[in-house]
Structure 1
Amino acid sequence: MGMAGISIWQLLIIFAIIILLFGTKKLRNIGSDLGSAVKGFKKAVNDEQDSKSDSAEPKVEQLKQADQQQDKTKSKEKDQA
């Protein structure tokens, strides 16, 4: 393998250091936040494609509702932690 390549062992060492620094609980929360953000983004893109002729106000309401739902999810996760 060349000098620019990263081996599986190097990736495992980096992953182990990240786990030691942040802890598994925080990594799980970051992962779920990132997943919900990606899910919300995909939904917004799909909604925009489905309703290009609609006005902008219903989209704003949908985004507000999505943000509120994400806030509820985050507060539930914090309560469980």
Structure 2
Amino acid sequence: MGGLSFWHLMIVLVVILIIFGAGKLPKVMGDLAQGVKNFKKGMAEDGDKPADAKPIEAQAQPSAPTAAANANAAQAPRKDGTTG
């Protein structure tokens, strides 16, 4: 009851033939195969040349503000006219 039987597959194939027609089906399958080939080729090309990757530590940690920047921020006037 939960699996696909032979009749389920036949119904799916008939629906596909009705939607695409017998003439378009080979073209659609050829386009699909070409897309799969291009995808595999692109994946193989990406694996051949590694990207210039920076260490994860340098990318993940933002630069810490300096003590002078903290002092300047503490003395900056606020929008309500006060400092501190």
RMSD: 1.7
Unaligned stretches of 5+ residues in structure 2: 53-84
Deviations 1:7-42 (A, max 9, x none): 111211221122123212212111111111110111
Aligned residue pairs, count: 52
State the percentage of identical aligned residues. 38
Runs of at least 4 residues of structure 1 off by over 2 A?
A: none
Which of 32, 42, 45 aligns to 1:44? It is 42
Q: What is the letter of the counterpart of residue 39 of structure 1? A: K
Give the distance between the partners of 2:22 and 2:49, measured in 1 at CA. 40
Q: TM-score by structure 1 length?
A: 0.54
Give the distance between the partners of 1:11 and 1:53, measured in 2 at CA. 44
Structure possessing the higher radius of gyration over alpha carbons: 2
CA shift in 2, pair 1:18/1:53, >3 Å:
closer
Aligned residue in 1 for 2:6:
8
CA shift in 2, pair 1:22/1:53, >3 Å:
closer
- Correspondence list, 1:54-69, <5 A: none
Q: Which has the higher helix share?
A: 1
Q: TM-score by structure 2 length?
A: 0.53
Q: What is the letter of the counterpart of residue 44 of structure 1? A: G
